[in-house]
Structure 1
Amino acid sequence: MKDSALSASLLGWYDRHARSMPWRVPPAERARGVLPDPYRVWLSEVMLQQTTVAAVRDYFHRFTTRWPEVAALAAAEDAEVMAEWAGLGYYARARNLLKGARAVVAEHGGRFPETREGLLTLPGVGPYTASAVAAIAFDEAATVVDGNVERVMARLFLVETPLPAAKPALTRLAETLTPEERPGDYAQAVMDLGATICTPRKPACGICPWREPCAARAAGVQAELPRRSPKAEKPVREGTVWVCLREDGAVLLETRPEKGLLGGMLGFPGTDWDRGKTDATPPLAAGWQAAPVEVRHTFTHFHLKLAVMVSRVPLDAQPARGRFQPREAFRPADLPTVMRKAWEAAMAADPR
């Protein structure tokens, strides 16, 4: 059974306190009939996966300025999109973004499917994204559950089962609150509540619209929920990259394989990251020198230690892998973060 009183009180709070987002139609405008742009909603939801609103804003602005509609993004070169994405992380999202845009154009005439089930047919769109776009862009009463919503539900209903085991129960509880009226505004309201009031540490219970019915607050354990099972320690992997500069300043780069970490991204030739550095084969014979500092970077599932080897080669050098990019066309900002760190380490060793 839906709890309409709780939903109504949260929507009233949202009408007064909704965050301003470049992809969001404010509740007052939505009430006047202004409809969200499904492309902007979808783009923002893909960008926001595993990433904060603060980090996404500038990327969203650049993407929508350069590719203002889904057809423009679908027609973009892969390398251009990957370069604009550089630094945002979780690069499979960028590859799926292109696949999704092209599917919308090729299979749906440039219009996004208007239901959760239809959206799930798009490449890279999973249950969360499909629910979010269906609710926010098309007002389908789809239940949207992200980390903020899980935290709110765990506290509101005093769910002490640790995450991730509690996820199914938290989703079912969230479904009991999803209203038939204004489901898009409600989805954004409950996420805003978690992001601004029901925060992980020191929740602002005194100004929360759900402070009275909140079971965790009544029990005095709101700051302790949701509980989490202990995380396994991340393994450490090692690898090597070779930063090679030609006499004319050109930089040796390669496009990484489509599948795997940093798939399709531009980077320096290197080893796999699941083996040590002793069996490394450089891309060409040269006087390689180790940079004085080792690059360290953390991915979702492991820590990486990367040795950086640096060399300068003559104009007639012929690498076995990769290609030389003229220095004037090379922008370190187009590289993923770990490769930018390798470039900085190389420049510290050979700044010419």
Structure 2
Amino acid sequence: MSDIKKIAVFTSGGDAPGMNAAVRAVVRTASYHGLECYGIYRGYEGMINGRIRPLATRDVGNIIQRGGTILKTARSMRFMTAEGRQLAYENLKAAGIDAMVAIGGDGTFTGAHVFNQEYDIPIVGLPGTIDNDICGTDYTIGFDTAINTAIEAVDKIRDTADSHSRLFFVEVMGRHSGYIALHCGIGSGAGCIFLPEYDTPLDELVDVLKKANEQDKKFNMVIVAEGNASGNAMEIANRLNEKYDGYESKVTILGHMQRGGAPSCHDRVLASRLGYSAVVELLKGTRNMALGIVNDELCLTPFEEAISQTKQPKSSLLEMARILSI
């Protein structure tokens, strides 16, 4: 693949802390190998609109510590059409782009896979999502920062919960994935955790609360993923209040604060490793692959496999959380 001269990098879907570190690594590794690097602004939508600009090493200085993404991001309905993808391809060829690095989650990889099947542009993907739900990597870029942001907030809530002997429901992000809720629940010592992947009956929560009362535990913390099948935090709290007496419950929704903030050291290192490896792999001839880190080693997974398989939290960790909460 010595014919690669120009590489483009873009971020797509939901933003995640560490995306800027990945962009920085791509740009500087490309420069080291004598390649020109371009940034595509606002993901696939920007690709269709021709928002493709050169990126030099100095353009990515002082961004490794910044949250969000300097390339911005957007979800593109037009890229889901053949006409939209053709426009994107024409813009890439006009700019002389030979290969691309896509940073995002499942939707980003799906778009990259379809595009690679239709047009002859090598693409590698980096898993950038706080949900940690991408197969082929132990952790995704942004996950570590998100759970630390959530756990910091929960620790503060615990202080007031303890002072007033109250039951607190804390809703964290995760429409389809319970990784944030599970790790936050374990790290905060929550009494009960509600995940999209596993059904937790309301009666189980009541049993936990009864045991807590028997042991003179005056407060409890419940972590709920926003996409939990039994309802969100507010709905579960309302059902508990309607069905059972004696629980003064409060609900806190952490929301999009979990996506923001400076990336943790773990996310900066992970993003840097993956961004560097993306350029190296493209020069080796790798294409239509997602990059990840498994057991501290680089792992390559075909896009088709990464988007077709479901990565679920381990049920054994949920059971451990139940036991440790007693």
Q: Judge same fold: TM > 0.5, yes or no.
A: no
What's the TM-score bracket when you normalise by the shorter of the two chains? under 0.3
| Structure number with bigger Rg | 1
Please give the TM-score of this superposition, normalised by the length of structure 2.
Answer: 0.25
TM-score by length of 1: 0.23
Which gives a bigger RCO, structure 1 or 2 (Cα 8 Å, sep 6+)? Answer: 2
